[in-house]
Amino acid sequence: MSEATLDIKNISKGFGEFWSREEIILDFSLTVHAGELLVLVGPSGCGKSTLVNLVAGFDRPDTGKILLNNKEITSPGHDRMVVFQETALIPWQTTVQNVMFGPLLRGESREKILEEANRLLDKVGLGEFKEKFPIQLSGGMQRRAELARAMINHPDLMIMDEPFRGLDAMSRELMQEFFVRLFEETGRTNLFVTSEIDEAIFLADRLVVLSNRPTSVRKTIEIKLPRPRDFLMLRETEAYEYKKEAMELLHEEAIKSFKTSGDRRDFLTAVSKKTG
Ligand SMILES: Nc1ncnc2c1ncn2[C@@H]1O[C@H](COP(=O)(O)OP(=O)(O)OP(=O)(O)O)[C@@H](O)[C@H]1O
Ligand SMILES: [Mg+2]
């Protein structure tokens, strides 16, 4: 079980100069507890990836602080691993070479790393595909290779930005099931971004609904479904209640991003006037 805690304290971030400046994140605070899987959902373009970049250390907030284990994040580091939607596998390296890449670069012993890479690839079900190149792997397999590549660094925090987006429905469901098992086994602190409510509820310990831009926490919902999770739980009334609440909030925030008054009826009236 991971002991790492992430503390995001009153951060703000904007882009552009003076007149064209736009605030993307405003006075945003959030704690991800040790061993917790915290899922963020928010309207498209609200600033989720901007937040991921700040936590990863690829960019700095304008104000506020982000702390991992009480230490301020100022640059990228292998204590945080990010898995994106786009594959970052190196095309001319085999799966096992891809997994070994980071630790080898840091000068760790090849023999030890090879053993660990083989173990992780077996764990993510790619035992038969170690010598294949990324192009020879299906979308789901590539995502699992990415997971192994992140896990070999033993990060304190896993950051996942819509990692299963773009997969077909069946592969996505299998990845969710696979990933939830992996999480339940390793218990690593995880900040997970998705735009899929069912995925969010299935995975999350806590679900955070983000507001429209400039984004901040709209509501935190504790998902009390027991672990280990299985898909049938999503059919239970409890899960349905979570979904209803999160969808209503998301819908309100998405409407705001359409630059209407934010009132649902105004928006619907506007639509019906246009279409009708
Ligand atoms: N480096 C940058 N320079 C200027 N604007 C940026 C930069 N990065 C992000 N933005 C702007 O910040 C806003 C939020 O973008 P971001 O990618 O964080 O949203 P998102 O919530 O991840 O969206 P999606 O759901 O589509 O993935 C967008 O309007 C985007 O144009
Ligand atoms: Mg994004």
**Quick one: three-class SS letters along the chain?**
CCCCCEEEEEEEEEECCHHHCEEEEEEEEEEECCCCEEEEECCCCCCHHHHHHHHHCCCCCCEEEEEECCEECCCCCCCEEEEECCCCCCCCCCHHHHHHHHHHHCCCCHHHHHHHHHHHHHHCCCHHHCCCCHHHCCHHHHHHHHHHHHHCCCCCEEEEECCCCCCCHHHHHHHHHHHHHHHHHHCCEEEEECCCHHHHHHHCCEEEEECCCCECEEEEEECCCCCCCCHHHHHCHHHHHHHHHHHHHHHHHHHHCCCCCCCHHHHHHHHHHHHC
Q: What is the mean pLDDT of the chain?
A: 92
For residues 128-150, give the mean pLDDT: 95
Q: What is the pLDDT of residue 268?
A: 62
For the CA of 47, the nearest atom of ligand 1: 18
207-249 pLDDT tens trace: 999 999 999 999 999 999 999 999 999 988 999 999 999 999 9
Tokens of 270: 């506007």
More confident residue, 222 or 106: 222
Best probe residue, ligand 1, of 12, 13, 40, 48 (max atoms within 8 Å of C-beta): 48
Q: Is 12 exposed, middle or buried (0-12, 13-18, 19+ CB in 10 A)?
A: middle
Is the pLDDT confidence value at 1 over 70? no
- What one-letter code names the amino acid at 226? P
Q: Residue of the nearest CA to atom 2 in ligand 1?
A: 15
For residues 6-13, give the mean pLDDT: 98
Tell me which residues have their CB closer than 6 angstroms to ligand 1. Answer: 15, 24, 42, 44-50, 195
Query: How many angstroms does the Cα of residue 119 sit away from the middle of ligand 1?
Result: 37
For the CA of 46, the nearest atom of ligand 1: 21
Q: Residue of the nearest CA to atom 28 in ligand 1?
A: 45
More confident residue, 191 or 231: 191
Is the pLDDT confidence value at 267 over 60? no
Whole-structure pTM value: 0.91
Domains and CATH numbers, the chain: 6-79+155-275 (3.40.50.300)
Q: Is the dihedral of CA 169, 50, 144, 94 positive or negative?
A: positive
Query: How many angstroms does the Cα of residue 45 sit away from the middle of ligand 1?
Result: 5
Terminal-residue alpha carbon distance, the chain: 56
